[in-house]
Amino acid sequence: MFKVGSLRKRQFIGGIAGVIIGFSVFYFLTLESAGEYVSIGPMNTGHQELSCVACHADARGNLMQQIQSNISYAVGSREEGVDFGTEDVTVDNCLQCHDRPNDRHPNYRFSEPRFKEAVKKIDARTCITCHSEHHEERVSVTSIDYCINCHQDLVVENDPLDISHKDLITKEEWFTCIQCHDFHGNHKYEVPTKLKDTIPMKVIQAYFAGGEDPFGTDKKYIGLSQSEWLEQLNNK
């Protein structure tokens, strides 16, 4: 019979152990309950209850098919590659829960050519520009001076503000509109008419970090919860 050397025996046992450990790790990490270990960071405000699959849907095909398709794409025998593991998260994922008819700044509008320059400064075509996920906050954009990219020529007739918008713009005494105006327009909120009543920047920053909502809690539309979202998908 064959004579098995001790080195080969150790290699064999090591190989088997490696396969078992590999499969166990793979199995554990793909469990729904292992989400917190796989996640790249804690969820943003309002998203804490979501499970991974709410945004990260399984990609089409099985693992082997995905490998084969991407190799084919790499060697040029296929027109397009495929997502590996899970599908890329796009603005459509966000809109499945957050789409509302009254959005003042819907993403799609910024696809128009006339916003080309503004989009170079702040890409409002996608939600993650301002709401990057897994940062345990509400708004992740670093500076809130983005309004000026489109509203630099603003003219307000019968201006209700005690110091007119025109004066503020001429004297360059404005930095953002957010201290008075809610970007998405989803709050039932009385806009202040006196400059002294505007929301202090510190409060805005705390709100962006996940703190109390200075525009109030009375909202016109509430984003869907995971169960509502699933129900909506089932009804389609």
Partner 1 sequence: MKNITKFLNIAYIIAIGSISLISCGGVPEENKASASTENVFSVAEVLEMVSKENDVTRTLYTKAIVGKGKTQGMKFDEDWRKDDVEAGPLPALFLRGVATSIKKSPVPLGLYLGSDFPVNAANKFVGKQAVLFEKIKEDQEPQFFYDEEQELHTAMFADVAGADACVTCHNNHKQSPKTDWKLGDVMGATTWQYPKDSLSYKETVAVLNSYAKGTVDIYMEYLDEIKAFEKSEKPVIGDKWPVEGNYLPTAEVFLDSVKKLSSYETMKHLVTMN
Minimum gap (Å) between residue 150 Cβ and partner 1: 5
Contacts to partner 1 from residues 102-121, by CB under 8 A: 102, 106, 108-109, 111-114, 116-117
From residue 161, alpha-carbon distances to 51, 108, 192, 193, 195 in Å are 45, 31, 8, 4, 7
Rounded distance, CA 57 to CA 93, Å?
A: 9
Contacts to partner 1 from residues 25-54, by CB under 8 A: none
Does position 11 interact with partner 1 (CB under 8 A)? The reply is: no
Token pair 């405000």 is found at 45
Does position 202 interact with partner 1 (CB under 8 A)? The reply is: no
Distance of CA 20 to the CA centre of its chain: 36
Does position 5 interact with partner 1 (CB under 8 A)? The reply is: no
Minimum gap (Å) between residue 82 Cβ and partner 1: 5
Minimum CB distance to partner 1 smaller for 39 or for 102: 102
Size, binding site for partner 1 by CB under 8 A: 38
Minimum CB distance to partner 1 smaller for 43 or for 94: 94
Amino acid at 146: Y
Of 117, 95, 120, which Cα lies nearest the Cα of 108? Answer: 95
Distance of CA 213 to the CA centre of its chain: 19
Does position 220 interact with partner 1 (CB under 8 A)? The reply is: yes
Rounded distance, CA 81 to CA 67, Å?
A: 10
Does position 164 interact with partner 1 (CB under 8 A)? The reply is: no
- Residue of 157, 172, 190, 212 that binds partner 1 (CB under 8 A): 157
The DSSP symbol for 219 reads B
The DSSP symbol for 187 reads B
Minimum CB distance to partner 1 smaller for 33 or for 217: 217
Q: Are 169 and 176 in contact (CB under 8 A)?
A: no
Minimum CB distance to partner 1 smaller for 30 or for 65: 65
Q: How many CB atoms lie within 10 A of CB 207?
A: 19
Minimum CB distance to partner 1 smaller for 63 or for 141: 63
- Residue of 80, 172, 190, 212 that binds partner 1 (CB under 8 A): 80
* Burial of residue 214, with CB atoms counted within 10 A of its CB: 0-12 exposed, 13-18 middle, 19 or more buried: middle
Q: Give Rg (Cα) of the chain.
A: 26
Does position 76 interact with partner 1 (CB under 8 A)? The reply is: no
Token pair 């396969």 is found at 19
Does position 210 interact with partner 1 (CB under 8 A)? The reply is: no
- Residue of 72, 176, 198, 226 that binds partner 1 (CB under 8 A): 72
Summarize as ranges the residues that interact with partner 1 (CB under 8 A): 60-62, 64-69, 71-72, 78-80, 82, 95, 99, 101-102, 106, 108-109, 111-114, 116-117, 150-151, 153-158, 188, 220
